Amino acid sequence: MNSRNKKNYDVIVIGAGAAGMTAAISAARQGAKVALLEHMEQAGKKILATGNGKCNFTNRVQGLECYRGQDPAFVLPVLEQFGLESTLDFFREIGIFPKEKRGGYFYPASGQASCVRQALVQELLFRKVDCYYGVGLRSIKKEKDRFWYDTKEGEYQSRICIIATGGKAAKKTGSDGSGFKYITEFGHHLTAIVPALVQMQGKQSFLKELAGIRADSVLSLYIDEKLICKEPGELQLTEFGLSGIPAFQVSRYALLALHAGQRVYASIDFAPEQSHKELEAYVTGWQKRRGGCLVGSCLPGLVNQKLIPVLLKEAGLKHNTALHSCGSKDVRRLVTCIKGLHVDIIGSKSFDQAQACAGGVDTSQLNPKTMESKLVRGLYFAGEVVDIDGACGGYNLQWAWSSGWVAGFHGGSK
Ligand SMILES: Cc1cc2nc3c(=O)[nH]c(=O)nc-3n(C[C@H](O)[C@H](O)[C@H](O)COP(=O)(O)OP(=O)(O)OC[C@H]3O[C@@H](n4cnc5c(N)ncnc54)[C@H](O)[C@@H]3O)c2cc1C
């Protein structure tokens, strides 16, 4: 593009991710003249990485509990306008056949995330959205009812500006946090931004011994001694800490609490299907029948073998203790460890290894019916840049499509 270019649009969308592309399509469908400015050389890089390359783009199960933020209810008016059914219709219309798996998770029938990106890019072309890639945005200003964009390549202006620059997760896909600068310059408040859907760091040295274990368990997260949430599923224990879906699901709460200086720990139930009482009866049953055996001999059929030495140690029992020499308090302590191994959470992997980030544009400063700023007329936001994050299962993309659509629809029809 010529360096003296000055381009005029009704709507300019910053960021060609899931939210930005949807916003641009939605605005163009309202008849607006739309441009999309992206600082990477291509659109939708992050989409390619989603769902292990298969793109879990939404979920049949929709409820407030699937969305998080300082005010999760903010999502409701947005989802009412563009929820699950509208999303499925939209994707069918642009050539993506939704395939439902595992009781509610939707993927493209091709099983390829690249098709989702391609379908969106094709639709942008079809709707005549001008897409500019490799744009070096320097500033956005509002003067005389128009937004002015100074870029290394030239100037742009528009009546409506939609910021969809994502969060800070996986910055190699383009979301490097640079968009937050423009947002604060417009006077918007950002809530604390931390990695979400990420591996959590544990303090205990026994984690080294447990690395590699995958166990069906229930993970409970405590903040300042208060139970915050419980997540069932396959937990992965690593040298660093806790990974797998249950750890990912609770990580945003843990990291926001650590950010606020609170004490965080996890309690892992390795035998969620048995109650304390049942387990105590099971161990004492073994005591009666095989009292001469070592204390750990009753556990291999119950928990992963690698766990046994750690559970015994945490219960204060020596591995060479005979079962008959254990008192009822010893049995209780052992059962307590099986049903609630304590792990202090002290951090997480970085934003680069996170699937999303929690925090962003404070939703109290946005109109939930339109995604428009309450501070600056004509300024809209969409996607992960906003203080809404989803649980694992397609909810982050659903938020990107929904908020993108709503911002584009209202911005494009102004
Ligand atoms: C490995 C991985 C797997 C995931 N899997 C899933 C999944 O299966 N299901 C699910 O729902 N979610 C998943 N997510 C999360 C989901 O991908 C994101 O929440 C979603 O893509 C966010 O969309 P967005 O458009 O808001 O932001 P992004 O996709 O991050 O897009 C932001 C865009 O803005 C551009 N940009 C940023 N700053 C600027 C700037 N200053 N100037 C110009 N352009 C800029 C970026 O380059 C980028 O193209 C996954 C994430 C990762 C990292």
The pLDDT tens digits for 318-328 are 989 999 999 99
Binned at pLDDT 50, 70 and 90, residue 1 comes out as: very low
Q: Which of 143, 163, 116, 185 is nearest to 16 (CA)?
A: 163
Helix axes 328-338, 276-290, angle to 10 degrees: 130
pLDDT score at 6? 73
pLDDT > 60? residue 360: yes
Beta bridge partners of 235: 215
In whole angstroms, what is the distance from residue 303 CA to residue 80 CA?
Answer: 45
Instruction: Tell me the CA distances in angstroms from 283 to 39, 204, 287, one per residue in order.
Output: 61, 26, 6
Q: What is the CA radius of gyration of the chain?
A: 25
Tokens representing 20 are 């930005």
Token code pair at residue 245:
């879906």
Is 383 near ligand 1, meaning CB less than 6 Å away?
yes
Measured in angstroms, how far is the CA atom of residue 399 from the centroid of ligand 1?
Answer: 11
Mean pLDDT estimate for the chain: 96
In the predicted structure, residue 402 carries a pLDDT above the cut 90: yes
Pocket test for ligand 1, best of 165, 172, 353, 371 (most atoms within 8 A of CB): 165
Gap between the Cα atoms of 87 and 190, Å rounded: 28
Q: Is the CB of 394 under 6 A from ligand 1?
A: yes
Cα 72 to ligand 1 centroid, rounded to whole Å = 20
pLDDT at residue 3, rounded to an integer: 44
Percent residues over pLDDT 70 in the chain? 99
Contact call for residues 76 and 53 (beta carbons, < 8 A): no
Closest residue by Cα to atom 26, ligand 1, is: 383
In order of their start, the domains of the chain are 6-194+358-412 (3.50.50.60), 199-348 (no CATH)
- The answer, yes or no, to whether any atom of ligand 1 lies below 6 A from the CB of 174, is yes
Grade residue 5 by pLDDT with cuts at 50, 70 and 90: low
Task: From the CA of 20, give the closest atom in ligand 1.
Answer: 25
- The fraction of the chain above a pLDDT of 90, given in percent, is 94
Element housing 163 (H / E) = strand 154-163
DSSP secondary structure letter of residue 369: T
Q: What is the mean pLDDT of residues 35-52?
A: 98
- Going by alpha carbons, the residue nearest to atom 52 of ligand 1 is 355
- Does 141 have pLDDT greater than 50? yes
pLDDT in tens, 192-246: 999 999 999 999 999 999 999 999 999 999 999 999 999 999 999 999 999 999 9
- pTM: predicted TM-score of the whole model, two decimal places: 0.96
Q: pLDDT tens digit string along 261-286?
A: 999 999 999 999 999 999 999 999 99
Q: What pLDDT, on a 0 to 100 scale, did the predictor assign at position 406?
A: 98
The closest-lying atom of ligand 1 relative to the alpha carbon of residue 40 is 47
Distance CA 389, CA 403 (A): 12
Q: Is 257 in the pocket of ligand 1 (CB under 6 A)?
A: no
Q: What tokens appear for 337 in the block?
A: 């460890």
Other CB atoms within 10 A of residue 409 CB: 20
Distance 47 CA to ligand 1 centre (A): 7
For 326-359, letters b (16+ CB in 10 Å) and e give beeebbbbbbbbbbbbebebbbbbebeebbbbbb
Nearest CA to ligand 1 atom 3: 50
- pLDDT category, 72, cuts 50, 70, 90? very high
Instruction: Read off the pLDDT of each residue in 68-82 and give the average, rounded to a whole number.
Output: 98
Q: What is the pLDDT of residues 295-314, one digit of tens each?
A: 999 898 899 999 999 999 99
DSSP label of 199: P
Ligand 1 pocket test, pick from 13, 37, 355 with the greatest ligand atom count within 8 Å of Cβ, gives 355
CB 256 less than 6 A from any atom of ligand 1: no
Residue 2 scores a pLDDT above 60: no
Q: Which atom of ligand 1 is nearest to the CA of 403?
A: 26
CA distance 242 to 135: 39
Cβ–ligand 1 distance for 20 under 6 Å, the answer yes
CA distance 247 to 261: 20
Residue 197 and residue 205 in contact, taking contact as beta carbons nearer than 8 Å:
no
The residue-averaged pLDDT of 379-388 equals 98
pLDDT of 290 reads 87
Does residue 332 have a pLDDT over 90? Answer: yes
Angle between helices 307-314 and 328-338 (to 10 degrees): 130
Which atom of ligand 1 is the closest one to the Cα of 46?
Answer: 29
